Structure 1
Amino acid sequence: MSGSTGLARRLGLGDAVVIGLGSMVGAGVFAAFAPAAEAAGSALLVGLALAAVVAYANATASAQLAAQYPASGGTYVYGRERLGPWWGFLAGWCFVVGKTASCAAMALTFAAYAVPPAWQRPVAAGAVLALTAVNLRGITRTARLTRVVVAVALGALGTVVLAGLAGGDPSWGRVAIGADATWSGVLGSAGLLFFAFAGYARIATMGEEVRDPARTIPRAIQLALGLAVVVYAVVAVTLLAVLGPDALAASAAPLADAAATTGWGWVDPVVRVGAAAASLGALLALVAGVSRTTLAMAREGDLPRPLAAVHERYRVPHRAEIALGLVVVVLVLTVDLRGAIGFSSFGVLLYYLVANLAALTQDRAHRRFPRALQVVGVVGCVALAVTLPPASVLGGAAVVLAGVAWRAVVLRARRVGGRA
């Protein structure tokens, strides 16, 4: 892309890693562990390992596709190029609706840690509007702010882990897998925890803004995912040891509850500041990623074409970002956090299913990883998607079918108009 319709390549390797890590840390640590523990019980760590395996398989598919097609839109572009327009639309639609739900989840997580319950929804809506305004000022501002957010979040997590293990009376017997573990529960927890690993998609969707994308994007995706896995594993072990699977499953703010067991009053505000910062970092990167996929779909006419506009000064898809912000505000005023996580996971797993299918068609010259990893990704995405909570599966399937029906109507209308 060039001229007034193109984005500027301003992000280096460090920027891309930080944006991906910021997306994952905010989502996973502060939002997904409680519902995953409710599903898997004492087998939470097995679910985390399965989610990490599927995420790695998906990451390799995204990395080698992004190297071949370094444009905004991620799997929407890859699906169109490798499998055809309908596959591209399916991927793009699933990403937009799934990650719009993720935006709402992150805004609600921020508010849950930051303010009392009565204020949470209006504060979440205000956070969405504020961070949309930040993104409208340019992608380099997004990367700089995300660096600060990630540093604060990781500092808070380190404090909680040390405080919980030193003063929270941990029991390592709570970490062991018990008789309550079932494979259906493990798969369900892995599907929910996959929500936490999907942040690397933001790197691929911003392929048009990364310098030397063929080299930078694959490296950034693997680095961000590897760092996130380490962080998740440490935090998960700490939460299980300090709270146990039952208390973790029942918690609305598990990091805060773990801090409360220490009796150290200064830890709680550290946790809340870190949770708020991590959630805002994830929300910031999510708005950037979803708006870039919206831009790509609007360019092809799969979403309203006015959303393809790029701001002349700041080089961002400003109309797409404004529209997204308004939709997310409506969601945070109406949905619950756990429902948003399940719905998001369903949409994003279908998105990566298309990514793996597209990567399977790449030739040897563009292949960077074994083809078997894409087979693992296909099987894993399907297995995790169908074992999510029934409400998430039914709601997600309904929205996907609605999008397919809408596109079919639009295409028919265009054909009729062309014959007129």
Structure 2
Amino acid sequence: MVGAGIFVVLAPAAAAAGSGLLVGLAIAAVVAYCNATSSARLAALYPRSGGTYVYGRERLGPFWGYTAGWSFVVGKTASCAAMALTVGFYAWPSHANAVAVAAVLALTVVNVLGVQKSALATRVIVAVVLTVLVVVVVAIVGADGIDPGRLSVASDAGVAGVLQAAGLLFFAFAGYARIATLGEEVRDPATTIPRAITVALGIALVVYAVVAVTVLSELGSAALASATAPIADAVSAAGHPGLVPVVRVGAAVAALGSLLALILGVSRTTLAMARDRHLPGALAVVHPRFDSPYRAEIAVGVVVAVIAALVDVRGAIGFSSFAVLVYYAIANASAFTLGRRAVPVLGLVGCVVLAFALPLTSVVIGTAVVAVGALAYVVRGRISGA
């Protein structure tokens, strides 16, 4: 979760919410907490690859499991493209598409070689990103302090805008799903997965809150909304232009870390769906040496590499948020069947509200893509039963 999201979502969220950015962040955090709690309870009960694809199937029925899996795959594929383009725009803006494709192909190879190597690379990347963010916060606060006036909510913060910002900011919180999708590759998954989800969400929330407060205090909501590289712009505005290249490197590394985990998670859900013949059975093959679903990983990598040349980053974030919120709505509905229903109800309602508060284009395209997946399931079922 502590990856490229914090480097890219603050500006569009500020454009939607204005001075209500921090309120939007708080709402996104509450919904993320509900989703994480529901996911942790379900992961402890069903420690298998696939995440909510498995939970929805087991608790609600095959259609809902399939819909969750479809939403996850298409939503996170869009996220992969967004992260790959982020690498390109920060590392080499004039050749962003070529860099994006190269990053996808390189990380696909890492994933094919086994989850252990991917986990090690992730630890290194997270350490680098956290170090860069700490340096940024210390530099800005040390130079200008915190301006409380820029943190107060003014009349420009409408309810619809704040909810839209929360939906966009949810993009940066959604990484804990990838913990659950690795259920078959974790030691003592019934204990480890719920603990990992809870700890990861807590760390991410603290990091995001500190960075958001710092950047908003430095730039103000209007300047933040128009920023193309908000954290780099905030560092420059604080009188530290020499740190801008460090921020750019940190953002590129963060995007690589996000992309690494995204490809890993999407391929595992693809594996689970292929096993159940909702996707081509050939994608369910596991490498005999590296114990990885290498065909699923290669297929995901190729699709992402193609899409990376065609999408707009902000549009990809909106579409991804919509599809992933559908995924978590099904997770909460699944957790509702386990009892202790207050958190799943809040999470389900929150997911639905934030999904339809997103920009209209994201809602329309997201609804259409999810509907196409559902229609394909129904048609396939009728053909099979004929």
TM-score, length basis structure 2? 0.98
2:14 aligned with 1:32, yes or no?
no
After superposition, the C-alpha distances for 1:42-65 in whole angstroms (9 at most, x for unaligned) are 000000000000000010110010
- Which residue of the other structure, out of 42, 53, 64, is the alignment partner of 2:30? 53
After alignment, is 310-319 or 256-265 more displaced? 256-265
Q: For 1:106, give the aligned amino acid.
A: M
Q: Distance in 2 between matches of 1:169 and 1:52?
A: 25
Q: Distance in 2 between matches of 1:301 and 1:33?
A: 39
Q: Distance in 1 between matches of 2:224 and 2:310?
A: 25
Q: Post-superposition shift, 1:251?
A: 1.2
Q: For 1:319, give the aligned amino acid.
A: R
Q: Distance in 2 between matches of 1:154 and 1:100?
A: 25
Q: Post-superposition shift, 1:28?
A: 2.5
- Which residue of the other structure, out of 173, 177, 184, is the alignment partner of 2:153? 177
Q: For 1:278, give the aligned amino acid.
A: A
Q: Distance in 1 between matches of 2:4 and 2:273?
A: 25
| Contact 1:168 1:259 (8 Å CA) reproduced | no
Which residue matches 2:260?
284
Which residue matches 1:303?
279
Q: For 1:253, give the aligned amino acid.
A: A
SS at match of 1:25: coil
Which residue matches 1:325?
301
| Contact 2:322 2:366 (8 Å CA) reproduced | yes
1:221-260 alignment runs, 5 A limit? 221-260=197-236
Which residue matches 2:358?
388
1:2-401 alignment runs, 5 A limit? 24-116=1-93, 118-167=94-143, 171-362=147-338, 370-401=340-371
After superposition, the C-alpha distances for 1:128-151 in whole angstroms (9 at most, x for unaligned) are 111111101100000000011000
Q: Distance in 2 between matches of 1:255 and 1:121?
A: 22
SS at match of 1:132: helix
Q: Post-superposition shift, 1:271?
A: 0.6
Q: Post-superposition shift, 1:266?
A: 2.7
After alignment, is 253-262 or 225-234 more displaced? 253-262
| Contact 1:27 1:195 (8 Å CA) reproduced | no
SS at match of 1:344: helix
Q: Distance in 1 between matches of 2:197 and 2:294?
A: 26
Which residue matches 1:412?
382
Q: Distance in 2 between matches of 1:110 and 1:238?
A: 23
| Contact 2:163 2:354 (8 Å CA) reproduced | yes
Q: Distance in 1 between matches of 2:155 and 2:89?
A: 33
Q: Post-superposition shift, 1:407?
A: 1.9
Runs of 4+ in 1 over 4 A off after TM superposition: none
Q: Post-superposition shift, 1:409?
A: 2.3
Q: Post-superposition shift, 1:243?
A: 0.9
Q: Distance in 2 between matches of 1:316 and 1:168?
A: 49
Q: Post-superposition shift, 1:173?
A: 1.2
After superposition, the C-alpha distances for 1:288-340 in whole angstroms (9 at most, x for unaligned) are 00000000000001111111111111011111111111111111100010000
| Contact 1:26 1:106 (8 Å CA) reproduced | no
Q: For 1:393, give the aligned amino acid.
A: V
Which residue matches 1:7?
none
TM-score, length basis structure 1? 0.90
Q: Distance in 2 between matches of 1:168 and 1:336?
A: 34
Q: Distance in 1 between matches of 2:252 and 2:4?
A: 11
| Contact 1:32 1:192 (8 Å CA) reproduced | yes
Q: Distance in 1 between matches of 2:363 and 2:314?
A: 13
Q: Distance in 2 between matches of 1:266 and 1:252?
A: 18
Alignment coverage as a number of residue pairs: 386
| Contact 2:41 2:194 (8 Å CA) reproduced | yes
| Contact 2:218 2:238 (8 Å CA) reproduced | no
Q: Distance in 2 between matches of 1:29 and 1:162?
A: 17
After alignment, is 284-293 or 166-175 more displaced? 166-175
| Contact 1:168 1:258 (8 Å CA) reproduced | no
| Contact 2:63 2:377 (8 Å CA) reproduced | no
Q: For 1:305, give the aligned amino acid.
A: G
Q: For 1:42, give the aligned amino acid.
A: S
Identical positions, percent: 62
| Contact 2:284 2:295 (8 Å CA) reproduced | yes
SS at match of 1:220: helix
